[in-house]
Amino acid sequence: MWLTNESRAERKKTLEKGDAVAVKKRNDIIAEKAGARQSKRLGIKDKWKEKDGNKGKSKGKKGKGRAGLEGGRKEKTKKA
């Protein structure tokens, strides 16, 4: 397929735009990781970890126990 000069120029612009987007994404990710490392060193917690849904296991909430392992067993009564 033969490309005209106009279509070559358009294709070149499209490729350059795609490359610029990829470079920006890569730089953003690298900056985000560097910021996370720095905040970890300084002991600053991330905002997403402080939300209610991520407080950890069994802090004030009682859920179902594991079947057959936790609770559910009644104490045997002593016969007189």
Return the closest-CA partner of residue 52 out of 61, 44, 43, 63. 61
Q: Tell me: the pLDDT tens digits for 27-52?
A: 999 999 999 999 988 888 766 555 55
> H helices within the chain, ranges in order?
5-42
Instruction: Please state, in angstroms and rounded to a whole number, the distance separating the CA atoms of residues 20 and 36.
Output: 24
CA distances (Å), origin 35, targets 19, 21, 22, 29, 76:
24, 21, 20, 10, 58
Q: Tell me: the pLDDT tens digits for 43-78?
A: 887 665 555 555 555 555 566 666 666 655 566 666
Name the residue ranges covered by the structural domains of the chain.
5-44
